[in-house]
Amino acid sequence: MIAVITGQTRGFGRYLAKAFRTRGFSVPFFDRSQLDLSDVESIAGFSRYFLDHFGVPDILINNAAILGPVGNFADSSLVEWHRTLMINLFGSVQLTHAFLSHMRRGGKIINIAGGGATGPLPRRSAYAASKAALVRFTETVAEEVKDFGIEVNAVLPGPLKTDMLDQIIESGEDVEKPDDDAIDRAASLCLWLAQTDGLTGRTLSARFDPWPFDDDEKKRIMASDLYTLRRIDREM
């Protein structure tokens, strides 16, 4: 099976690509010189090249992201704010658009979400907004392609020992320290989603959710609004 994994030159992307290769997936290597997620033409050229040289991917993992501006929104650079959304959100959207019409039944798309996707993330507003939008994009596309047998989910990896975490720490922000097996757990969730059927339009936390689910649990999840972005109403 062929997998496209973005951001595989460092951090979680590098670990993820290695994990998938170890499991027998074909994961062609590429770096930013071959794919710039902030540039529409670069994404179009890369997708054409990939399809011509490697074929239709079975798995697409939109992992690449940047932290963006850190600090109060009122003091943030809107240029950097825009760039963060271009890479974290629109880069993933455009790459999904480029491959989606070619993917066969059984294809999987996994979007790596993160802090701010399910709750506010003060002083990292661009990153939070990009990840929340990516989750809603995940849910929406999943509904559109479910009749074609393509499943689309998002993963919350939790804090990981990566360059991005170092950036946050260096900026003086408080951040939760990851445990030693956090990165392996997040990669294992992605591998499970890539190889299981029956779950789509959901956002799963690598460290908090009780995956893997059996078939009965998947049916229960799909019949509910579990693991989705939603407003919770209560009686007044």
**Is residue 236 one of the residues assigned to a domain?**
no
What does residue 115 show for φ and ψ, rounded to 5 degrees?
A: -50, 135
- Mean pLDDT for the stretch of residues 75-102: 96
- Mean pLDDT for the stretch of residues 175-201: 92
**Is residue 102 one of the residues assigned to a domain?**
yes
- Mean pLDDT for the stretch of residues 5-10: 94
- Structural domain harbouring 177: 3-222
**Is residue 64 one of the residues assigned to a domain?**
yes
Statement: residue 170 has pLDDT above 90: no
What residues contact residue 133 under an 8 Å CB cut-off, 6+ apart?
A: 85, 89
What residues contact residue 102 under an 8 Å CB cut-off, 6+ apart?
A: 51, 56
**Is residue 80 one of the residues assigned to a domain?**
yes
What residues contact residue 38 under an 8 Å CB cut-off, 6+ apart?
A: 83, 86, 87, 91
Measured distance CA(163)–CA(66) in Å, rounded: 10
Which listed residue (15, 49, 127, 227) is catalytic? 127
- Which segments within the chain are labelled E, that is strand? 3-5, 59-62, 108-112, 151-156, 203-205
Is position 15 annotated as part of the catalytic site?
no
Burial class (CB in 10 A: 0-12, 13-18, 19+), 183: buried
- Mean pLDDT for the stretch of residues 106-124: 92
**Is residue 231 one of the residues assigned to a domain?**
no
Amino acid sitting at position 189: L
Q: Give the CATH number, domain containing residue 7.
A: 3.40.50.720
For residue 51, what pLDDT is reported?
A: 97
- Mean pLDDT for the stretch of residues 70-93: 96
**Is residue 18 one of the residues assigned to a domain?**
yes
**Is residue 17 one of the residues assigned to a domain?**
yes
Domains: count for the chain: 1
For residue 160, what pLDDT is reported?
A: 82
Higher pLDDT, 171 or 1: 1
**Is residue 201 one of the residues assigned to a domain?**
yes
Residue 92's pLDDT band, with cuts at 50, 70 and 90, is: very high
In this prediction, what percent of the chain has a pLDDT beyond 90?
Answer: 82
